[in-house]
Amino acid sequence: MIKKRLLSILFFYFVLFQGVFSSETNIYKKIDLFGEVLEKINREYVEEVNQSESMDSAINGLLQSLDPYSAYMPPEVFDEMQTETSGEFGGLGIEVTMESGVVKVISPIDDTPASKAGIKAGDYIVKINNIQVQGKSLSEAVDLMRGPVGSGIELTVRRRGEKKALIFNVVREIIQIQSVKADLLEKNIGYIRLTSFNENSGKQIERKIQELEKNKAVNSYILDLRNNPGGLLSQAIKISDFFLNNGEIVSTKSRKVSENRKWFAKKGDVINGKTLVVLINYGSASASEIVAGALKDHKRAILVGENSFGKGSVQSIIPLKNNGAIRLTVAKYYLPSGKSISEVGVSPDIEVDEEGEEFRIKTETDNQLNYVIKLLNG
């Protein structure tokens, strides 16, 4: 009996470790294959190859095969990214990702060269200064768009509904991000425009609302999240909580069940239950979708505009030994209803599309905002 039991245990471990060894052997074979391919390229390719750049491209290819948001940042790119998060940097003023081998605009930032030139959320940048983007990594494409402040750049863009490519000539500027703007519309509507979720966004919105609330004529609010590519999760939770008295705001689910989290609203509505309309469009992504989705699920706000982008994942910046880093998707967002935002986005309660090539947010050509004003004032 004992002998049979020992044989059973030995057989179990043999099968178990055979699977482990088999898996490891396959990985080592793939690594050997990669080395062989790299050696063949270095010896046989028609032109001399920069081995360091080839390795960077291979690492980036591995990460981008996972999803459009995971990427490798060489030391110089990681250093530039840390500089840019300080709130002032040189560039065009667009948030981008990679899709089908070309650069896709998530959203242009308000009052930046890209926004002023007419670049729109959902545009595909296919050429940069007449250089094809197809085949390049996101970091390589971004490098092509960088340059001295005051210098010009030509972008060739493909846009939904347009048969011909569009050409935009843009001049690079210092990008200063003012994330919160407020205004009083029609003497009774509090208007809050949020362009990104940075570390001060919640405090700024709270201050703007307090100022607007001093006017007793204010009976409704508009929260404008159009062309807001997102930002800090903590600020999305804080801003959602401003308008909710209770209930779940958002949850994240990761590979490790122990790291799954949920966030809930605390009692207190900063606008005291007044009517709230949230404006969204295809450029509303990530943290914007968390706020819009939470307020919609709790029936606290009416959503007007277009379907949002559909970026419902959490990325972590993980530093590497070479002073570079990887941006890796580590979790996904879920709305209070349990729905994932990824690739789906948040749909508006009332769909109102942008009208005309001259459309600009919060101008006379802003038909979406004009619709909401009429909706609120009957």
Active-site residue list: 286, 297, 311
**What is the identity of the amino acid at 271?**
I
Chain position carrying tokens 């949850």: 251
Q: How many whole angstroms separate alpha carbon 269 and alpha carbon 271?
A: 6
Give the CA count within 13 Å in the CB-facing half-sphere of 173: 15
Neighbouring-strand partners of residue 264? 248
Chain position carrying tokens 């300080």: 86
**DSSP of 114-182, one letter per residue?**
HHHHT--TT-EEEEETTEE-TT--HHHHHHHH---TT-EEEEEEE-TT-SS-EEEEEE-EEEE---EEE
**DSSP of 228-263, one letter per residue?**
---B-HHHHHHHHHHT-SSSEEEEEEESSGGG-EEE
Distances (CA, A) of 271 to 189, 190, 268: 12, 10, 9
Residues 6+ apart with CB under 8 A from 277: 220, 221, 222, 223, 301, 302, 303, 304, 372, 375, 376
The two beta strands, 275-280 and 220-224, are parallel
Neighbouring-strand partners of residue 41? none
Q: Is 52 helix (H, G, I), strand (E, B) or coil?
A: helix
